Copies of this chain bind each other. A is one copy, B any other.
Amino acid sequence: MIDLAILGLLTEQELHGYELKKRLGELLTSRASISFGSLYPALNRLEKQGCVKAVEQRTTPPAVAPMSGSLAGELAAFKARVRGSGLVKGTGRSRKVYGITDLGRTRLHELLTSPDVTDDREFALRVAFARHLSPAERLELFERRRTELLDRRDDLRRRRERKTDTYLGALRERDADHLVHDLAWLDRLIKAERTLLQSQEEPTR
């Protein structure tokens, strides 16, 4: 979970832990950000594994720098850049900027394509980083999810056949509704991916 999120974000841009946490908060739904207490150990672990590495802080702005929201943040980042590498290598205590390695990219790809049954949150993360997959891989991801949702729908139907309490019934109704909409949403994604695949194949004829 956390590895997927970290590697996904670092693929796009080098970041230090604190900033990473902010991005994580934006990425995940509604202030469900992860805590420092799990982020920093995870970063150290990933560094030991060789999936990420601490990079030199450049004096040049970090590539794209898409003016990421808060002005204050941008300003702080600029100033940090100015004081820059001297401090980092000097007194030691400052920000530690991480970048992804080739091994990390391989690992990310594994995490995105692993056929293991995943929970809803992990599926959401996979979709969030789906641009790092090929159309065919995305299609597989979506279709596996589709199968899973169909199973759940059948399961739910079986439950609803047995009579239940009013409120439990209302809950099941809501679940069924979510499932229907999720399936429709998935079907749209699948369709889009199929046309994308075809348009890729056609030019080679």
Residues of A in contact with B (beta carbons under 8 Å apart): 26-27, 29-31, 69, 124, 127-131, 151-152, 155-156, 159, 162, 165-168, 170-171, 173-175, 177-178, 181-182, 185, 189
Contacts and interface: CB of A to CB of B under 8 A. Distances in A.
A178 B181 CA distance: 8
A73 B162 CA distance: 17
A200 to B, nearest CB: 16
Contacts of A156: 29-30
Contacts of A170: 127, 185, 189
Contact of A128 (B29, B152, B167): B167
A69 B163 CA distance: 11
What 5 A-B pairs are tightest by C-beta distance, nearest first? A130-B167, A30-B152, A174-B185, A128-B168, A127-B171
Copies of this protein in the assembly total 2
Contacts of A185: 170, 173-174, 177
Contacts of A131: 165-167
Main secondary structure of the interface of A (DSSP, over half): helix
Given A31-B155, A152-B29, A155-B31, A177 B181 contact: yes
B178 A127 contact: no
